[in-house]
Amino acid sequence: MTDTLPDAALDQIFRTARTHNAFSGQIDDATLRSLYDLVKLGPTEANACPARFVFVRSREAKERLGPALSEGNFEKTMAAPVTVIVGHDLRFYDKLPLLFPHADAKSWFEGSPDERLQRVALRGSSMQTAYLIVAARALGLDAGPMTGFDNDKVDAAFFPGTAVRSNILVNLGRGDASVLYPRSPRLSFDEAARIE
């Protein structure tokens, strides 16, 4: 247990951070690897780390992604320096002998009903998407997560012949604060929480 972070850090990762809609700049390989090196450390169920990440950066890859995007997400995504496709591997348990070496964790999941595997994979990759958003902000990048896209088209274009299924897209880059909408309301503590 440690001290609370300085206000400037809390501002950067939560308080003044925003979901951006317009991006510029460039992001090099080293930055994407630094980002992954933070994201990978966030906890997931049985350390299963089900998320798989495609950092879409080239023009060619952006053009493969384009047809899957909803109209409202098209322009900003094509212009963003990088768009991360976060998917999850429904056969995540194949990695458990590596990721959870002190027990036969693979047997906890292999052969489970699809509904359970989908739930575990979706839960984990969604948590890892949140780590990605916070880690990007911590590295000085802005993020723009999106669910407005055709999952089947993304899966066919980027994960063919695998058990990986797309979950969320996240644009990364330098956000243009001048085109932000005002922040939307949030639920008050009493609307969303209670202490018992």
CB 137 within 8 A of CB 170: no
142-146 vs 164-175, strand pairing mode: antiparallel
φ, ψ of residue 101 in degrees (nearest 5): -75, -15
Q: What is the DSSP string of 109-128?
A: HTT--HHHHHHHHHHHHHHH
- Alpha carbons 32 and 25: distance in angstroms, whole number: 14
* Burial degree of 172 (CB within 10 A; 0-12, 13-18, 19+): buried
**φ and ψ at 165, to 5 degrees?**
-125, 135
Report the residue from 68, 76, 117, 131 that binds a copy of itself according to the rule CB under 8 A. 131
10 binds a copy of itself (CB under 8 A): yes
Question: Should residue 179 be labelled a site residue for a copy of itself when binding is judged by CB under 8 A?
Answer: no
Hey, which residues does 129 pair with through a beta bridge?
none
Determine if 181 is a binding residue for a copy of itself (CB under 8 A): yes
Site string for a copy of itself, 103-122 (x = CB under 8 A): ----------------x--x
Please select the residue that binds a copy of itself; options are 139, 153, 155, 156, rule is CB under 8 A: 139
For residue 4, the minimal CB distance to a copy of itself (Å) is: 5
Residue list 141-170, contact with a copy of itself (CB under 8 A): 141-143, 145, 147, 158, 167-168
- Scan residues 76-105 and list those touching a copy of itself (CB under 8 A): 95, 98-102
User: Among residue numbers 26 through 45, which ones bind a copy of itself (CB under 8 A)?
Assistant: 29, 32-33, 36-38, 40-43, 45
Interface with a copy of itself includes 195 (CB under 8 A)?
Answer: yes
Applying the rule CB under 8 A, the residues between 49 and 78 that interact with a copy of itself are 49, 51-58, 60-61
Cβ-Cβ contacts under 8 Å for 30 (sequence gap 6 or more) = none
Check residue 189 for interaction with a copy of itself (CB under 8 A).
Answer: yes
